[in-house]
Chain A
Amino acid sequence: MADGHCIRVRALDVQNAAKPELATIWMDLEVGYFERAEAEGEDDTIPGADGRDVGVYRRSRRLIQLQGYTKGIGGTEDERWESWHAAQEALLGVMPMHSAPGLVEVDGPYLGIPVGTTRFLYARCTRQLGGPVLNHMAYQAWSFTLECIDSPPEWQTEPS
Chain B
Amino acid sequence: MATQYHFDLYPRTDPRDGTRLVRFTGLQKATYRDVIGVGSGVAVLRSTHADADFIDPLGEQYVRVVEETDAAETVVGGFWLSDTKHETAVQKDTLKLSVSGPATMAYLARSVMAPHTYIHAVFEGQDPYDDVWRLSNQSTFYANGSHLGAMLWRVIYEAQHFRSGAYTHRHKDGETYTDTHADDRLASAIPDLVMDFDQFVDSDGDDWTLEAGEFQAQVGENVLSVVQRLIQAGLYIEMDPDTFELRAWETRPASRGGRSTDRTGTSWATGTVLFKSPTGGDISTGNIKSDTERQEKSFLRRSVVWAGGGDVYAKETGSTDIPWEGFESANLNDLAALGQLAEAQINAREEAASAVTPKIRLGDDEPNGFYRPWQEVRLDDLVTVHTGSGQWDFDNQTFPVAGLRIEQKIGGDWAAWAELGASYEAGRERRFQVGPPASHSHPPNPELCRLGVPGTDSSTRLYFSLDAAVFNPAADAAWDDSGPVTRRLYTSPDGSYGTSPTSSTSSGDADGRNICYWRGVYGPLSADDAARIAAGGTVISGQMRVNARYGIGVSEAAQNMIYQVGVRVTQGATTTIRGTALPLHSLTSSAGSTKWGAVSSRPNRTLPAAAADDVLTAVPGTAAGDYLLIEVGSRNYTTVAVTGGGMLFTSNSVSDLPVDQASTAALNCWIQFDTSGVGAVGPDLPLDTVRQDEESTGTSIRAARCDHQHAHGLLSVSGTHYHDQEDIEGTTTFTLDQLDDVDLSTPPVDGDTLVYVEEEGLWIAQAPGKWEAVTNGEDIFVWEDDDLVHEWRT
B271 at the interface (CB under 8 A from A): no
CB distance from A49 to the nearest CB of B (A): 4
Interface residue ranges of A1-55 to B (CB < 8 Å): 39-42, 44-53, 55
CB distance from A24 to the nearest CB of B (A): 37
Chain B contact surface mostly: loop
Q: Determine the chain B residues whose CB is within 8 A of the CB of A46 once the complex forms.
A: 278, 283, 286-290
Residues A49 and B411 in contact, CB atoms below 8 Å apart: no
Residues B283 and A50 in contact, CB atoms below 8 Å apart: yes
Q: Chain A: which residue is nearest B409 at the CB level?
A: A42
B785 at the interface (CB under 8 A from A): no
C-alpha gap A63/B277 in the complex (Å): 40
A58 at the interface (CB under 8 A from B): yes
A48-B281, A50-B281 known; A58-B286 Cβ under 8 A:
no
C-alpha gap A152/B482 in the complex (Å): 81
With beta carbons under 8 angstroms apart, the residue of B277, B282, B288, B361 that contacts A50 is B282
With beta carbons under 8 angstroms apart, the residue of A48, A52, A55 that contacts B409 is A55
A56 at the interface (CB under 8 A from B): yes
CB distance from A57 to the nearest CB of B (A): 5
Interface residue ranges of B411-436 to A (CB < 8 Å): 411-413, 415
C-alpha gap A51/B286 in the complex (Å): 12
C-alpha gap A102/B213 in the complex (Å): 73
Q: Determine the chain A residues whose CB is within 8 A of the CB of B413 once the complex forms.
A: 41, 55-56
Q: Interface 1/0s, chain B 267-298, versus A by CB < 8 A? A: 00000000001101111011111101000000
Q: Determine the chain B residues whose CB is within 8 A of the CB of A57 once the complex forms.
A: 411
C-alpha gap A146/B540 in the complex (Å): 97
Q: Determine the chain B residues whose CB is within 8 A of the CB of A52 once the complex forms.
A: 283
With beta carbons under 8 angstroms apart, the residue of B2, B290, B411, B415 that contacts A47 is B290
C-alpha gap A45/B409 in the complex (Å): 15
Q: Determine the chain B residues whose CB is within 8 A of the CB of A47 once the complex forms.
A: 277, 286, 288, 290, 292
Q: Determine the chain B residues whose CB is within 8 A of the CB of A58 once the complex forms.
A: 411-412
B169 at the interface (CB under 8 A from A): no
Q: Interface 1/0s, chain B 332-364, versus A by CB < 8 A? A: 000000000000000000000000000101000
With beta carbons under 8 angstroms apart, the residue of B280, B361, B410 that contacts A41 is B410
A44-B289, A44-B290, A56-B2 known; A49-B281 Cβ under 8 A:
yes
C-alpha gap A44/B369 in the complex (Å): 15
Q: Determine the chain A residues whose CB is within 8 A of the CB of B292 once the complex forms.
A: 47
Residues B2 and A49 in contact, CB atoms below 8 Å apart: no
CB distance from A50 to the nearest CB of B (A): 6
Q: Determine the chain A residues whose CB is within 8 A of the CB of B411 once the complex forms.
A: 39-42, 55-58
CB distance from A138 to the nearest CB of B (A): 40
Q: Determine the chain A residues whose CB is within 8 A of the CB of B287 once the complex forms.
A: 46
Chain A contact surface mostly: strand
Q: Determine the chain A residues whose CB is within 8 A of the CB of B290 once the complex forms.
A: 44-47
Q: Determine the chain A residues whose CB is within 8 A of the CB of B2 once the complex forms.
A: 56
Q: Determine the chain A residues whose CB is within 8 A of the CB of B409 once the complex forms.
A: 41-42, 55-56
Q: Determine the chain A residues whose CB is within 8 A of the CB of B410 once the complex forms.
A: 40-42
C-alpha gap A39/B411 in the complex (Å): 8
C-alpha gap A51/B290 in the complex (Å): 12
Residues A44 and B281 in contact, CB atoms below 8 Å apart: no
Residues A48 and B289 in contact, CB atoms below 8 Å apart: no
C-alpha gap A48/B393 in the complex (Å): 13
C-alpha gap A45/B361 in the complex (Å): 10
C-alpha gap A46/B278 in the complex (Å): 8
Indicate the size class of the contact surface on chain A: 10 to 19
Q: Determine the chain A residues whose CB is within 8 A of the CB of B289 once the complex forms.
A: 44-46, 53
Indicate the size class of the contact surface on chain B: 20 to 34
CB distance from B765 to the nearest CB of A (A): 79
Q: Determine the chain A residues whose CB is within 8 A of the CB of B361 once the complex forms.
A: 44, 53
C-alpha gap A42/B412 in the complex (Å): 9
CB distance from B422 to the nearest CB of A (A): 24
CB distance from A64 to the nearest CB of B (A): 23
C-alpha gap A146/B283 in the complex (Å): 40
C-alpha gap A42/B411 in the complex (Å): 7
C-alpha gap A46/B287 in the complex (Å): 7
C-alpha gap A53/B340 in the complex (Å): 45
A42-B409, A42-B410, A57-B411 known; A51-B283 Cβ under 8 A:
yes
C-alpha gap A55/B413 in the complex (Å): 7
CB distance from B27 to the nearest CB of A (A): 14
C-alpha gap A46/B409 in the complex (Å): 17
Residues B359 and A56 in contact, CB atoms below 8 Å apart: no
A53-B361, A56-B2 known; A48-B286 Cβ under 8 A:
yes
Q: Interface 1/0s, chain B 656-686, versus A by CB < 8 A? A: 0000000000000000000000000000000
Q: Determine the chain A residues whose CB is within 8 A of the CB of B415 once the complex forms.
A: 42, 44
C-alpha gap A40/B286 in the complex (Å): 25
- Which of A39, A40, A47, A57 has the most CB atoms of chain B within a 10 A radius of its CB? A47
Q: Chain B: which residue is nearest A44 at the CB level?
A: B289
A56-B412, A58-B411, A58-B412 known; A44-B282 Cβ under 8 A:
no
C-alpha gap A14/B587 in the complex (Å): 120
Residues A49 and B278 in contact, CB atoms below 8 Å apart: yes
Residues B412 and A48 in contact, CB atoms below 8 Å apart: no
- Which of A40, A51, A55 has the most CB atoms of chain B within a 10 A radius of its CB? A55
C-alpha gap A58/B286 in the complex (Å): 26
Q: Determine the chain B residues whose CB is within 8 A of the CB of A41 once the complex forms.
A: 409-413
C-alpha gap A40/B408 in the complex (Å): 13
Q: Determine the chain B residues whose CB is within 8 A of the CB of A40 once the complex forms.
A: 410-411
Q: Determine the chain B residues whose CB is within 8 A of the CB of A55 once the complex forms.
A: 409, 411, 413
Q: Chain B: which residue is nearest A45 at the CB level?
A: B290
CB distance from A95 to the nearest CB of B (A): 22
Q: Determine the chain B residues whose CB is within 8 A of the CB of A49 once the complex forms.
A: 278, 280-283, 285-286
Q: Chain A: which residue is nearest B290 at the CB level?
A: A45
C-alpha gap A49/B282 in the complex (Å): 5
Q: Determine the chain B residues whose CB is within 8 A of the CB of A42 once the complex forms.
A: 409-411, 415
C-alpha gap A101/B638 in the complex (Å): 108
CB distance from B361 to the nearest CB of A (A): 7
C-alpha gap A48/B410 in the complex (Å): 25
Q: Determine the chain B residues whose CB is within 8 A of the CB of A45 once the complex forms.
A: 289-290
Q: Determine the chain B residues whose CB is within 8 A of the CB of A39 once the complex forms.
A: 411
CB distance from A108 to the nearest CB of B (A): 34
C-alpha gap A58/B281 in the complex (Å): 29
Q: Interface 1/0s, chain A 109-146, versus B by CB < 8 A? A: 00000000000000000000000000000000000000
Q: Determine the chain B residues whose CB is within 8 A of the CB of A44 once the complex forms.
A: 289-290, 359, 361, 415
Chain A to chain B contacts (Cβ below 8 Å), 22 pairs: A39-B411, A41-B410, A41-B411, A42-B411, A44-B289, A44-B359, A44-B361, A44-B415, A45-B289, A46-B286, A46-B287, A47-B286, A47-B288, A48-B277, A49-B282, A49-B283, A53-B289, A53-B361, A55-B411, A56-B2, A56-B412, A56-B413
Can you list the 10 inter-chain pairs with the closest CB atoms, starting with the nearest?
A41-B411, A56-B413, A49-B278, A56-B411, A46-B283, A45-B290, A49-B283, A44-B289, A46-B286, A48-B278
Apart from A46-B286, A46-B287, list 14 A-B contacts with CB within 8 A: A40-B410, A40-B411, A42-B410, A45-B290, A47-B277, A49-B285, A50-B281, A50-B283, A51-B282, A53-B283, A53-B289, A55-B409, A58-B411, A58-B412
